[in-house]
Copies of this chain bind each other. A is one copy, B any other.
């Protein structure tokens, strides 16, 4: 009912410590940085109308396998959500999401600030259920209640879980039935699509949703999310929204260069795959000590339930995120691996954790 989890916002970090706090601690992937250096002295057209953005959009369309898609590069996830939602809805229309949805909890009311209500349902494992959507779509009293018009979901979710093709297809069917747009927040889409158990492809997602974004910030870019619009009704004059909401950067071509690199030679999925592999190795560390998890995940986030005394010891060497209180003596802690996490980082943690557990 209530939202107890939190992201760690540590204000100082000891440089000797290692951080599993999130997947946006490090700079750009090597190939992304090299592309920035390579193109640094070129002159590009402003406001995202340059050749790099055009090329990056083509590469994304190729990766998806269809050419009827508009692609816009947006500085971050919150502005991508603001734009996708506020551009699609009329003033009295609302967006549906799980209670744990990022737009509902951790974006400081940015959707409401554009004038739109968020309707929520409990969901399961961070995922909204088709029957919850149907219920909210049906449960209306004409003009005295907002009109649901869009469903928001994230893949991977806030809990690191992923949607199966069957789940997303059923949700898409409910959306079509009730005239709801389906929008997917892909801040961690790379991790989701390369996770064990995933059976969705970029093409599936483009086909099932009306629009979605491919996250760059959390997968090797300095900044940038690629918003992909398939539904023609949502394409028109979208750049007006981009400009009005403050998300049209003068040097938009920087994001173009970064996504060009990310979608060359499969780099985007390689980086996400690395984060997932490291997370799996970390999972094994916990499993080797019989540590339970809040929920089973195969993406780059894991949520072990740890004794509070153990947590204190971990925090001497590692930055991690307190997620929620589990019981009187233990807590759920979030660990995140990134494109930049190395095998030796996990090895280092294994040693620390073994030592902590053996002390007990």
A residues touching B (Cβ–Cβ < 8 Å)? 1-4, 6-7, 9-13, 15, 18-19, 21-22, 24-28, 33, 36-37, 39-47, 49-51, 75-79, 82, 86-87, 90-92, 94, 105-110, 112-118, 121-122, 135-136, 139, 141-147, 217-218, 222-223, 237, 239-251, 254, 319, 340
Contact = CB atoms under 8 A, between A and B. Distances in A.
A94 B104 CA distance: 12
B33 A46 contact: no
B45 A37 contact: no
B141 A9 contact: yes
A217 B2 contact: no
A28 B46 contact: no
Nearest to A28: B40
User: In the complex this chain forms, how many copies of it are found?
Assistant: 4
Closest CB pairs A-B (n = 8): A79-B246, A27-B40, A92-B240, A109-B117, A25-B43, A143-B239, A24-B250, A108-B244
Contacts of A82: 246
A246 B94 contact: no
Interface of A is mostly: loop
Nearest to A80: B246
Contact of A37 (B37, B50, B135): B37
A247 B113 CA distance: 14
A25 B41 CA distance: 9
B251 A24 contact: yes
A237 B92 contact: yes
Contacts of A143: 108, 237, 239-240, 242-243, 248
16 contacts: A2-B139, A10-B49, A13-B44, A18-B43, A21-B46, A22-B46, A26-B43, A27-B251, A27-B254, A36-B222, A75-B223, A91-B113, A92-B113, A143-B242, A147-B240, A222-B251
A139 B4 contact: yes
A109 B94 contact: yes
A75 B78 CA distance: 13
Nearest to A38: B27
Given A18-B43, A39-B27, A141 B7 contact: yes
Contacts of A254: 27, 222-223
B251 A110 contact: no
Nearest to A75: B75
A92 B109 contact: yes
B18 A244 contact: no
A325 to B, nearest CB: 11
